[in-house]
Amino acid sequence: MQGITILLVGNTDSEHVRALVDEYLKRANRFLPVEVKVLPEVRLSKKDSREKQKQLEGAAILGAIGPQDEAILLDERGREYSSREFADFLQKKMQTIPRRMLLIVGGPYGFSEEVYRQVPLRLSLSKMTLSHQLVRLFAVEQVYRALTIINHHPYHHD
């Protein structure tokens, strides 16, 4: 695997979240190239539907997925892993993915049906609803944690 890209819809408006994401990216990059790519959040008028917003964001998401990418949606209906299980999952993917893993965080209303149809792999960070702003931090931190587990680094404690 060439690396991991965390694809996000919309920027965070929190300097604190941005600083923490940057810190975990810096740490993760010691082990494997990890980056965050931000797609612009679609801003519609109040009379437009959430479905329209999800469709427009979905088109941008699908356009960002390369032909050899292993795309995985971060979705509350996805499979949950412990940190060690996620590290095992990631390690297996690292051995079999030809290009990059793409972890995708949707917009504030989630993913369009077209994205769900085209990207069948789903991973859940929690059964709880998480802030769209904080999901990006949790995703980067869990990638870093998994990489430390894989590399026998003492960051993770059982």
Tens-place pLDDT, residues 135-149: 999 999 999 999 999
Task: List strands edge to edge, sheet with 3-9.
Answer: 34-39, 3-9, 100-105, 70-80, 122-124
pLDDT for position 1: 83
Percent residues over pLDDT 90 in the chain: 72
Residue type, 37: K
Predicted pLDDT at 128: 86
Q: Are 99 and 68 in contact (CB under 8 A)?
A: yes
- The reported pTM is 0.93
Contact, 133 vs 13, CB < 8 A?
yes
Average pLDDT of the chain, as a whole number: 93
Low-confidence ranges of the chain (pLDDT < 50): none
